[in-house]
Amino acid sequence: RDNLSQALLGFDDPIVDIEIDDDFEIGASTIREAMDAGEIMPWFQPQAEFDNGKVVAVEALARWRRRDGRIVRPSRFIPVIEREGMVDALTDHMLVHACRWKRVWDRMALRLNISVNVSPTTLSDAGCADRYQKIVEDHGVDPADVVLEITESSVMADLAGGLSVLARLRLKGFGLSIDDFGTGYSSLAQLSQIPFTELKIDQGFVVGAREQPRKRAVIEASLELGRKLGLDVVAEGVETLDEWQMLAEMHCGLAQGYLISAPVTGAELAGVVSRWRRPEL
Ligand code: C2E
Ligand code: MG
Ligand code: MG
Ligand code: MG
């Protein structure tokens, strides 16, 4: 594969990142223009149930595809967006386009929940619950079919402050997911206060878990916690059959990762879903 198609497929190849990202400056105005021009868009990565292999949800991941076809990864532009105070604009943009795609899939009888990542600053934005509700309802989407992902570390950075916003979002019906779980040092007491509906085990624990008992222990503890708190549990970064099998045996709920598919454009997603077959174990 050449570098471009590799990048388009979303593979995590650091060499590709350097080559395609290195030579242009990113600032507030380039980002604004890129959003307005539809160069920055959600791509979608499927989540499948271990039980029956069915794809039931997608995570929207921001991708910037420039007119010349080159891809800028979120790790390159999201820090700029945060620094420039443009995170709200990005989240709204991602929600709008994820909802539009959801409606397309609805019409194809493809029932998919959508997950959208929200940034730590959202937790101090008292107005976001009303705004997100308006966005999804204006697009004919039920907030109950939308999951907002927030990283464990950002929730824990200001638990007291974030709690009221999270509670408000939950009251509107949004699902709330704790992202990159296992990396954020939360306590059980803190977690149980937050009305989460989903827990995403960080991919760092999934990679190599078969050989590394300590990683497996973290996964087992996360699954146990999820069961006790009544949360859906998603394993991130499932790349191999081995990992799928191990997590299936551990009764994990959902898998997300390159084994199923890298993130793809909205237009490609339905094809990916229809071609995907659960591994025969
Ligand atoms: P995340 O929310 O934890 O997203 C999962 C990341 O893992 C994605 O990276 C995804 O492409 C990657 N990934 C998926 N499957 C695999 C796999 O099997 N193996 C490996 N090694 N990686 C896998 P991506 O798209 O580069 O996003 C990185 C982070 O940027 C995301 O982490 C999220 O925190 C942030 N992000 C992405 N889009 C948005 C957005 O629209 N808004 C905000 N606030 N943050 C975003
Ligand atoms: Mg996420
Ligand atoms: Mg994650
Ligand atoms: Mg992660």
Q: Is this complex's ipTM strictly greater than 0.85? A: yes
CA-nearest residue, atom 45 of ligand 1? 117
**Under 8 Å between Cβ of 47 and 278:** no
What is the C-alpha separation between 175 and 169, in angstroms, rounded?
Answer: 8
- C-alpha separations of 197 from 14, 36, 55 in Å: 33, 33, 18
- For residue 256, the ligand closest to its alpha carbon is 1
**Under 8 Å between Cβ of 179 and 149:** yes
Query: What is the DSSP annotation of 2-32?
Result: -HHHHHHTT---HHHHHHHHTT----HHHHH
pLDDT tens digit at each of 281 positions of the chain:
344 434 444 444 333 343 455 556 788 899 999 999 999 999 999 999 999 999 999 999 999 998 888 888 898 899 999 999 999 999 999 999 999 999 999 999 999 999 999 998 888 899 999 999 999 999 999 999 999 999 998 888 888 889 999 999 999 999 999 999 988 878 888 888 899 999 999 999 999 999 999 999 999 999 999 999 999 999 999 999 999 999 999 999 999 999 999 999 999 999 999 999 998 87
What is the C-alpha separation between 8 and 193, in angstroms, rounded?
Answer: 40
Question: What distance in angstroms lies between residue 117's CA and the mean position of ligand 1's atoms?
Answer: 9
Which amino acids bring their CB within 6 angstroms of ligand 1? 10, 12, 45, 61-62, 73-75, 78, 90, 94, 117-119, 149, 179-180, 203, 236-239, 257-258, 263
Query: What is the DSSP annotation of 178-203?
Result: EEEETSS---HHHHHHS---EEEE-H
Query: What is the DSSP annotation of 135-162?
Result: HHHHTT--GGGEEEEEEHHHHHHTHHHH
What is the C-alpha separation between 171 and 115, in angstroms, rounded?
Answer: 17
Residue 281: per-residue pLDDT: 75
What is the C-alpha separation between 275 and 161, in angstroms, rounded?
Answer: 44
Residue 241: per-residue pLDDT: 95
Hey, what are 87's tokens? 């995170």
**Atom from ligand 1 closest to the CA of residue 43:** 25
For β-strands 40-49 and 254-256, DSSP reports them as antiparallel
